[in-house]
Structure 1
Protein backbone atom coordinates (compact mmCIF):
# COMPACT_ATOMS: atom_id res chain seq x y z
CA UNK A 1 0.00 0.00 0.00
CA UNK A 2 1.35 3.40 -1.01
CA UNK A 3 1.08 6.08 1.66
CA UNK A 4 1.28 9.79 0.86
CA UNK A 5 2.02 12.36 3.55
CA UNK A 6 0.96 16.00 3.10
CA UNK A 7 2.63 18.96 4.75
CA UNK A 8 1.62 22.64 4.62
CA UNK A 9 4.46 25.15 4.45
CA UNK A 10 5.11 28.78 3.68
CA UNK A 11 8.03 29.72 1.45
CA UNK A 12 8.78 33.42 1.01
CA UNK A 13 5.13 34.26 1.70
CA UNK A 14 3.81 31.61 -0.70
CA UNK A 15 1.60 28.94 0.87
CA UNK A 16 2.00 25.47 -0.57
CA UNK A 17 1.57 21.78 0.03
CA UNK A 18 4.39 19.26 -0.01
CA UNK A 19 3.11 15.78 -0.81
CA UNK A 20 5.53 12.97 -0.08
CA UNK A 21 5.27 9.33 -1.09
CA UNK A 22 8.41 7.69 0.29
CA UNK A 23 7.70 4.30 -1.30
CA UNK A 24 6.31 5.02 -4.75
CA UNK A 25 4.78 1.84 -6.18
CA UNK A 26 7.30 -0.24 -4.21
CA UNK A 27 9.95 0.30 -6.90
CA UNK A 28 13.67 0.02 -6.15
CA UNK A 29 16.40 1.10 -8.57
CA UNK A 30 19.93 -0.02 -7.77
CA UNK A 31 18.88 -0.75 -4.20
CA UNK A 32 17.40 2.72 -3.69
CA UNK A 33 13.72 3.23 -2.93
CA UNK A 34 12.01 5.39 -5.59
CA UNK A 35 10.05 8.18 -3.93
CA UNK A 36 7.74 10.90 -5.22
CA UNK A 37 7.65 14.51 -4.03
CA UNK A 38 5.03 17.00 -5.20
CA UNK A 39 4.94 20.74 -4.62
CA UNK A 40 1.60 22.49 -5.13
CA UNK A 41 1.25 26.19 -4.41
CA UNK A 42 -2.10 27.61 -3.36
CA UNK A 43 -3.91 29.06 -6.38
CA UNK A 44 -1.07 27.62 -8.48
CA UNK A 45 1.21 30.59 -7.84
CA UNK A 46 4.53 30.15 -9.68
CA UNK A 47 7.50 28.83 -7.72
CA UNK A 48 11.20 28.79 -8.60
CA UNK A 49 10.85 25.13 -9.62
CA UNK A 50 7.66 25.55 -11.68
CA UNK A 51 5.83 28.27 -13.57
CA UNK A 52 2.50 26.47 -13.11
CA UNK A 53 2.58 26.12 -9.32
CA UNK A 54 2.77 22.32 -9.55
CA UNK A 55 5.90 20.17 -9.67
CA UNK A 56 6.19 16.41 -9.60
CA UNK A 57 9.65 15.09 -8.75
CA UNK A 58 10.87 11.51 -8.57
CA UNK A 59 13.94 10.96 -6.46
CA UNK A 60 15.31 8.45 -3.99
CA UNK A 61 13.90 8.16 -0.51
CA UNK A 62 17.45 8.27 0.79
CA UNK A 63 18.18 11.64 -0.88
CA UNK A 64 15.18 13.25 0.79
CA UNK A 65 15.95 11.71 4.17
CA UNK A 66 19.58 12.91 3.90
CA UNK A 67 18.28 16.51 3.68
CA UNK A 68 16.17 16.11 6.80
CA UNK A 69 12.89 14.93 5.28
CA UNK A 70 10.41 16.18 2.67
CA UNK A 71 9.85 19.66 4.12
CA UNK A 72 13.57 20.40 4.54
CA UNK A 73 14.24 18.99 1.06
CA UNK A 74 11.51 21.14 -0.52
CA UNK A 75 12.63 24.31 1.26
CA UNK A 76 16.26 23.79 0.24
CA UNK A 77 15.23 23.05 -3.36
CA UNK A 78 13.16 26.25 -3.50
CA UNK A 79 15.93 28.30 -1.90
CA UNK A 80 18.56 27.04 -4.35
CA UNK A 81 16.36 27.52 -7.41
CA UNK A 82 15.35 31.02 -6.26
CA UNK A 83 18.95 32.10 -6.89
CA UNK A 84 18.49 31.60 -10.65
CA UNK A 85 18.45 34.64 -12.93
CA UNK A 86 15.06 33.60 -14.31
CA UNK A 87 13.46 33.64 -10.85
CA UNK A 88 15.12 36.93 -9.90
CA UNK A 89 13.80 38.52 -13.12
CA UNK A 90 10.31 37.17 -12.47
CA UNK A 91 10.32 38.54 -8.92
CA UNK A 92 11.57 41.95 -10.08
CA UNK A 93 8.85 42.12 -12.74
CA UNK A 94 6.19 41.17 -10.18
CA UNK A 95 7.29 44.03 -7.91
CA UNK A 96 7.28 46.51 -10.77
CA UNK A 97 4.09 48.55 -10.91
CA UNK A 98 2.38 48.85 -14.24
CA UNK A 99 0.92 52.15 -15.39
CA UNK A 100 -1.52 50.40 -17.71
Structure 2
Protein backbone atom coordinates (compact mmCIF):
# COMPACT_ATOMS: atom_id res chain seq x y z
CA UNK A 1 0.00 0.00 0.00
CA UNK A 2 1.22 3.48 -0.87
CA UNK A 3 1.81 5.95 1.94
CA UNK A 4 0.89 9.54 0.94
CA UNK A 5 1.08 12.98 2.50
CA UNK A 6 -0.34 16.03 0.72
CA UNK A 7 0.28 19.64 1.69
CA UNK A 8 -0.78 22.89 0.04
CA UNK A 9 1.46 25.92 0.27
CA UNK A 10 1.45 29.40 -1.25
CA UNK A 11 4.36 30.90 -3.08
CA UNK A 12 4.03 34.45 -4.42
CA UNK A 13 0.25 34.09 -4.69
CA UNK A 14 0.31 30.67 -6.34
CA UNK A 15 -1.16 27.67 -4.52
CA UNK A 16 1.05 24.63 -4.86
CA UNK A 17 0.13 21.07 -3.94
CA UNK A 18 3.03 18.92 -2.76
CA UNK A 19 2.33 15.20 -2.46
CA UNK A 20 5.00 12.98 -0.97
CA UNK A 21 4.54 9.24 -1.24
CA UNK A 22 6.33 5.98 -0.76
CA UNK A 23 5.47 3.99 -3.89
CA UNK A 24 4.57 0.34 -3.39
CA UNK A 25 7.66 -0.77 -5.31
CA UNK A 26 9.78 1.11 -2.78
CA UNK A 27 9.56 -1.88 -0.44
CA UNK A 28 11.74 -3.79 -2.89
CA UNK A 29 14.04 -0.77 -3.16
CA UNK A 30 14.33 -0.74 0.65
CA UNK A 31 15.22 -4.44 0.75
CA UNK A 32 18.08 -3.80 -1.66
CA UNK A 33 19.36 -0.39 -0.44
CA UNK A 34 18.15 -0.20 3.15
CA UNK A 35 15.89 2.85 2.71
CA UNK A 36 12.83 3.90 0.75
CA UNK A 37 12.70 5.71 -2.56
CA UNK A 38 10.32 8.64 -2.16
CA UNK A 39 8.20 10.29 -4.83
CA UNK A 40 7.29 13.97 -4.70
CA UNK A 41 4.67 15.45 -7.00
CA UNK A 42 4.49 19.22 -7.29
CA UNK A 43 1.60 20.89 -9.10
CA UNK A 44 0.11 24.32 -9.17
CA UNK A 45 -3.58 24.29 -8.32
CA UNK A 46 -4.43 27.99 -8.31
CA UNK A 47 -3.99 29.26 -10.89
CA UNK A 48 -4.18 25.79 -12.37
CA UNK A 49 -1.07 24.70 -14.30
CA UNK A 50 0.68 28.01 -13.62
CA UNK A 51 4.41 27.85 -14.29
CA UNK A 52 6.91 27.84 -11.45
CA UNK A 53 10.66 28.43 -11.53
CA UNK A 54 11.11 24.64 -11.38
CA UNK A 55 8.50 23.76 -14.03
CA UNK A 56 7.01 25.55 -17.01
CA UNK A 57 3.96 23.26 -17.01
CA UNK A 58 2.96 23.59 -13.37
CA UNK A 59 3.81 19.93 -12.71
CA UNK A 60 7.00 18.25 -11.58
CA UNK A 61 7.77 14.71 -10.45
CA UNK A 62 10.83 14.09 -8.28
CA UNK A 63 12.30 10.83 -7.01
CA UNK A 64 14.58 11.11 -4.01
CA UNK A 65 15.88 8.70 -1.41
CA UNK A 66 14.48 8.84 2.09
CA UNK A 67 17.80 9.90 3.70
CA UNK A 68 18.29 12.68 1.12
CA UNK A 69 14.76 13.96 1.75
CA UNK A 70 15.29 13.96 5.50
CA UNK A 71 18.59 15.82 5.15
CA UNK A 72 16.80 18.51 3.11
CA UNK A 73 14.29 19.07 5.92
CA UNK A 74 11.33 17.38 4.25
CA UNK A 75 9.50 17.80 0.97
CA UNK A 76 8.01 21.26 1.60
CA UNK A 77 11.38 22.75 2.54
CA UNK A 78 13.06 20.99 -0.39
CA UNK A 79 10.53 22.33 -2.90
CA UNK A 80 10.52 25.86 -1.49
CA UNK A 81 14.33 25.94 -1.48
CA UNK A 82 14.39 24.77 -5.13
CA UNK A 83 11.71 27.24 -6.20
CA UNK A 84 13.39 30.18 -4.45
CA UNK A 85 16.81 29.30 -5.85
CA UNK A 86 15.44 28.88 -9.38
CA UNK A 87 13.48 32.15 -9.11
CA UNK A 88 16.81 33.97 -9.39
CA UNK A 89 17.54 32.55 -12.84
CA UNK A 90 17.39 34.91 -15.83
CA UNK A 91 14.95 32.54 -17.59
CA UNK A 92 12.45 32.69 -14.74
CA UNK A 93 12.79 36.44 -14.31
CA UNK A 94 12.01 36.92 -18.01
CA UNK A 95 9.05 34.51 -17.95
CA UNK A 96 7.71 36.10 -14.78
CA UNK A 97 8.05 39.60 -16.24
CA UNK A 98 6.27 38.59 -19.47
CA UNK A 99 3.44 36.91 -17.58
CA UNK A 100 2.78 40.14 -15.66
CA UNK A 101 2.63 42.27 -18.82
CA UNK A 102 -0.58 42.73 -20.76
CA UNK A 103 -0.56 41.75 -24.38
CA UNK A 104 -2.62 44.16 -26.49
CA UNK A 105 -2.34 42.09 -29.65
The CA RMSD measured in Å over matched residues stands at 1.5
Please show how residues 1-100 of structure 1 align to structure 2 within 5 Å. Answer: 1-21=1-21, 23-24=22-23, 25=25, 26=27, 27-28=29-30, 30-42=33-45, 43-100=48-105
SS in 2 for 1:83: coil
TM-score, normalization: structure 1? 0.87
CA distance in 2, matches of 1:34, 1:81: 24
SS in 1 for 2:57: coil
**Unaligned residue ranges in structure 1 (runs of 5+):** none
TM-score, normalization: structure 2? 0.84
**Unaligned residue ranges in structure 2 (runs of 5+):** none
